[in-house]
Amino acid sequence: MKLAVLMSDYRTGADVLERLSAEKLGIILVGNGVYHATVKEGGKACPILDRKADFYALTEDFETRGFTAANLDSRVKAVNYGDVVDLIFNDYEKVIWL
């Protein structure tokens, strides 16, 4: 199964994410979830980014929080709303929201 996960929170959802299994996993960071792609706690990147997955961050959401694409971890691709729609309809069979 090809699974897309929209993560909209920074402090919750990681435990559920750890239990998910898919042949292809895409994690789309939206809302406060974009902090996973930008914030480094104690000098370390967010452990969620260590998962085997494709990572995306919604441009409108990280820019609203004062970040630019240059602030994103190199494992995360910046996407706009149109890109998210394309990912959901073309690349993934199922979508969940955390």
Q: What confidence score (pLDDT) does residue 94 get?
A: 93
Q: What confidence score (pLDDT) does residue 76 get?
A: 97
The residues, ordered by sequence, that sit 6+ positions from 30 with a Cβ below 8 Å of its Cβ are 6, 7, 8, 57, 58, 61, 84
Q: What tokens were used for 82?
A: 């149109």
Per-residue pLDDT of the chain (98 residues), as tens digits, is: 999 999 998 877 677 878 888 899 999 999 999 999 987 777 788 888 988 999 999 999 999 999 999 999 999 999 999 999 999 999 999 999 98
Q: What confidence score (pLDDT) does residue 68 get?
A: 95
* Separation between Cα atoms, residue 67 and residue 61, nearest integer Å: 9
List of domains in the chain: 2-97 (3.40.1260.10)
